[in-house]
């Protein structure tokens, strides 16, 4: 349906920008019952919220007039959580209110405060800013709120998450009580509802989110990866999809720095965004993404808030999000404005269950698969070569002359080979990574004790000399097991990486339900223990252990054994060590120690 009748100046601005139909949130704020009222709106990222509240404010700021009067004290205040989002809102309102003669000022951290002071002193109609900088201007008397008719809190949930509650309350308390208050948030948790009750009057609740329904323009894929191959999986996902723009999310600055350096080293045009960058560095990185000089952005959650990249076709969760809201917010960076997007979630085998709970809580239908293999990527490369724009671009006379000269000197096969080599040289090489294959269903298994005994016997007979050179071995335990899809093929590289050892120094590996036990050559056991203590891996813990079947090993199947009686220490020749009775003869089953006789008879 077309846009409802609003202000003629805004209608011209929408037509100039090619807006023909409103999004659901824009249509909701323009309905007659929302006119002039406070609004509490929840809508997904990329749904057109900025234009929505810009249109909703028109009746309050302009009334029946087509243009604003001379600029003086601000009439409206827009508060956003980050510099990037505030500057994006500033740009949007300039074109939307441009035909109406509006002057829009920005007040954000990291920018020249003297320029902002001059803009406020010269007069404006709308101010857009971040909470900290706006409070600073208020405390110094530079921002006059006495004529404020409306206040908008954009992405209010993020502002509270970032710790801006006190600043927001200070700003709202400084504005007239009769103002309109429009609160836009992706979700409405309890703290947002409390803020709304305190500062809004008879607010109209608008919810354009359909509960438990994923973003229709985003294809979700969960890829199982070995915990030590996440970085390689990122490389192969980027190569497999070859999107014009991609964003990779990590938890920490250190992870962002390391992954960004690794991608640049492999030949990707990548930039990074984290809290340690200056505003100038952030601006240059974003500009490189917008003009196509960079294709990949590696970022933390906080640093990426408020970023809008129109050509972003791929989002990769290199680290699993902590909650469903973060998952949806990250993923919502792609699939905007009717464009299709792909969201890839890398799931280490050790965190499969957490990922499943996260996806269920977010209401996302996801396709599970393994990471793209090197052969799959090379196959797609061959398909992309045939669709290269070089074949469809307009041909000049100089191009024809060069082609004829080449054909006189070289065969068509030589020329085609050289063309393929040039195209391939522009692309980073895919990585060879491990995939355990699709999940296996339940199957009949032989007796566990017999199977484990046979496996250990074979492993010991065939591997003792290869692993550790026949030396004495020391047992260690690892906090992953069958429930984490543990497999020696990806456990071995992790043990080597965390303990700074080689495969030759690793002996028997026993995988139980909830843990794995393995041997390390005694000559390097102390060095190995010190290395794993320093590694501090958040998903996998390694520590010294008793041999399987004894001590902390329980009953040999990853579970605690039955409680032991006093003086009874298990089965076998040493069962009565330290007890009253002598050990039973070899081959005899141990007897329980006799009970003490009752003194009374």
Question: In the chain, what percentage of residues exceed pLDDT 90?
Answer: 32
pLDDT at 555 over 70: no
pLDDT at 442 over 50: no
Does any domain span residue 590? no
d(CA 152, CA 55): 12
| CB burial of residue 581 (10 Å; 0-12, 13-18, 19+) | middle
Cβ atoms within 10 A of the Cβ of 241, count? 17
Q: Which of 207, 237, 268 is the last residue of a domain?
A: 207
Q: Which of 439, 472, 493 is the last residue of a domain?
A: 439
d(CA 223, CA 436): 11
pLDDT at 455 over 70: no
Range with lowest mean pLDDT among 108-112, 209-213, 275-279: 209-213
Does any domain span residue 577? no
Tell me the backbone φ, ψ of residue 218, rounded to 5 degrees: -115, 130
**CA terminus-to-terminus distance, the chain:** 98
**Residue 368 shares a structural domain with residue 353:** yes
Q: Which two tokens stand for residue 260?
A: 């960004």
Q: Measuring CA to CA, which residue among 60, 87, 281, 272 is closest to residue 181? A: 60
How far, in Å, are 251, 271, 389 from residue 320 at the CA level? 8, 21, 36
**Residue 182 shares a structural domain with residue 234:** no
CATH code assigned at 406: 3.40.50.300
Does any domain span residue 3? no
pLDDT at 214 over 70: no
Containing H/E element for 343? Answer: strand 341-348
| Rg (the chain; Cα; Å) | 32
**Residue 198 shares a structural domain with residue 271:** no
**Residue 71 shares a structural domain with residue 192:** yes
pLDDT at 420 over 90: no
**Residue 433 shares a structural domain with residue 478:** no
Average pLDDT over residues 186-193: 81
| CB burial of residue 153 (10 Å; 0-12, 13-18, 19+) | buried
**Residue 473 shares a structural domain with residue 415:** no
Q: pLDDT tier at 560 (50, 70, 90 boundaries)?
A: very low
Bridge partners, 441 (sequence order):
none
pLDDT score at 593 = 53
Q: Which of 143, 175, 207 is the last residue of a domain?
A: 207
Does any domain span residue 500? yes
Does any domain span residue 601? no
Express each pLDDT in 324-342 by its tens digit. 888 888 887 787 655 788 9
**Residue 311 shares a structural domain with residue 413:** yes
Does any domain span residue 565? no
pLDDT score at 437 = 59
More confident residue, 308 or 482: 482
**Residue 500 shares a structural domain with residue 405:** no
Express each pLDDT in 255-277 by its tens digit. 999 999 999 998 899 999 887 88
Average pLDDT over residues 512-520: 91
pLDDT at 315 over 60: yes
**Residue 82 shares a structural domain with residue 26:** yes
Structural domain harbouring 41: 8-207
Range with lowest mean pLDDT among 43-47, 243-247, 521-525: 43-47
d(CA 274, CA 142): 31
Does any domain span residue 583? no
Give 413-465 as a DSSP string. HHHHHHHHHHHHHTSPPPP------SPP-------HHHHHHHHHHHHHHHHTT
**Residue 507 shares a structural domain with residue 426:** no
Number of domains in the chain: 3
Does any domain span residue 93? yes
**Residue 34 shares a structural domain with residue 136:** yes
d(CA 182, CA 173): 15
| Per-residue DSSP letter, 336 | -
d(CA 261, CA 276): 15
Q: Measuring CA to CA, which residue among 104, 105, 73, 85 is closest to residue 153? A: 85
Residues near 393 by beta carbon (within 8 Å), at least 6 away in sequence: none
**Residue 270 shares a structural domain with residue 395:** yes
Mean pLDDT computed over every residue of the chain = 80
């Amino acid at each position: 349906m077309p846009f409802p009748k609003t202000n003629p100046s805004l209608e011209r601005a929408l037509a100039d920008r090619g807006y023909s139909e409103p999004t659901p949130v824009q249509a909701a704020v323009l309905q007659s019952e929302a006119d002039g009222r406070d609004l509490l709106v929840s809508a997904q990222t990329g749904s057109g919220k900025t234009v929505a509240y810009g249109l909703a404010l028109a009746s309050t700021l302009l009334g029946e007039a087509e243009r604003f009067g001379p600029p003086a004290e601000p009439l409206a205040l827009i508060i956003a959580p980050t510099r990037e989002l505030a500057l994006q809102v500033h740009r949007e309102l300039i074109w939307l209110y441009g035909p109406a003669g509006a002057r829009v000022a920005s007040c954000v951290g990291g920018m020249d405060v003297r320029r902002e002071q001059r803009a406020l002193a010269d007069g404006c109609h709308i101010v857009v800013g971040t909470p900290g900088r706006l409070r600073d201007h208020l405390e110094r008397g530079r921002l006059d709120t006495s004529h404020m008719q409306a206040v908008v809190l954009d992405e209010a949930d993020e502002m509270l998450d970032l710790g801006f509650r006190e600043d927001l309350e200070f700003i709202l308390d400084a504005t007239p009580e009769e103002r309109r208050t429009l609160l836009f948030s992706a979700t409405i948790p309890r703290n947002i509802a409390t803020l709304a009750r305190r500062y809004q009057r008879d607010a109209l609740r608008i919810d354009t989110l359909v509960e438990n329904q994923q973003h229709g323009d985003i294809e979700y894929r969960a890829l199982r990866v070995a915990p030590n191959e996440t970085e390689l999986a990122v490389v192969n996902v980027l190569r497999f999809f070859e999107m014009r723009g991609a964003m990779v999310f990590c938890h920490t600055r250190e992870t962002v720095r390391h992954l960004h350096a690794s991608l640049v080293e492999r030949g990707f045009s990548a930039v990074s965004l984290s809290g340690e960058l200056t505003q100038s560095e952030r601006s240059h990185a974003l500009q490189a993404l917008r003009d196509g000089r960079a294709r990949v952005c590696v970022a933390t959650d906080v640093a990426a808030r408020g970023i809008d990249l129109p050509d972003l076709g791929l989002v990769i969760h290199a680290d699993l999000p902590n909650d469903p809201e973060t998952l949806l917010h990250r993923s919502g960076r792609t699939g905007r404005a009717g464009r299709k997007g792909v969201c890839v979630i890398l799931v280490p085998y050790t965190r499969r269950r957490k990922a499943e709970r996260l996806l269920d809580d977010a209401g996302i239908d996801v396709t599970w698969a393994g990471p793209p293999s090197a052969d799959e990527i090379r196959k797609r490369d061959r398909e992309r070569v045939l669709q290269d724009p070089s074949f469809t671009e307009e041909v000049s006379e100089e191009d024809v002359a060069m082609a004829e000269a080449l054909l006189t000197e070289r065969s068509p096969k030589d020329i085609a080979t050289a063309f393929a080599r040039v195209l391939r040289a522009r692309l980073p090489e895919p990585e060879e990574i491990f995939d355990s294959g699709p999940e296996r269903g339940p199957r009949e298994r032989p007796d566990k004790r017999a199977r484990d005994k046979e496996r250990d016997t074979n492993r010991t007979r065939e591997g003792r000399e290869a692993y550790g050179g026949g030396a004495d071995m020391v047992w260690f335990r690892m906090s992953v097991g069958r429930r984490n899809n543990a497999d020696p093929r990806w456990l071995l590289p992790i043990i080597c990486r965390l303990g700074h050892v080689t495969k030759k120094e690793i002996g028997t590996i026993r995988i139980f339900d909830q843990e794995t036990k393995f041997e390390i050559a005694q000559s390097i056991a102390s060095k190995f223990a010190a290395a794993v203590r320093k590694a501090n891996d958040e998903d996998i813990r390694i520590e010294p252990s008793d041999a399987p079947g004894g001590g902390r090993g329980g009953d040999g199947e990853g579970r605690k054994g039955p409680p032991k009686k006093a003086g009874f220490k298990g089965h076998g020749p040493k069962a009565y060590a330290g007890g009253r009775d002598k050990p039973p003869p070899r081959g005899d089953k141990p007897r329980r120690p006799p009970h003490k006789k009752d003194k009374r008879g």
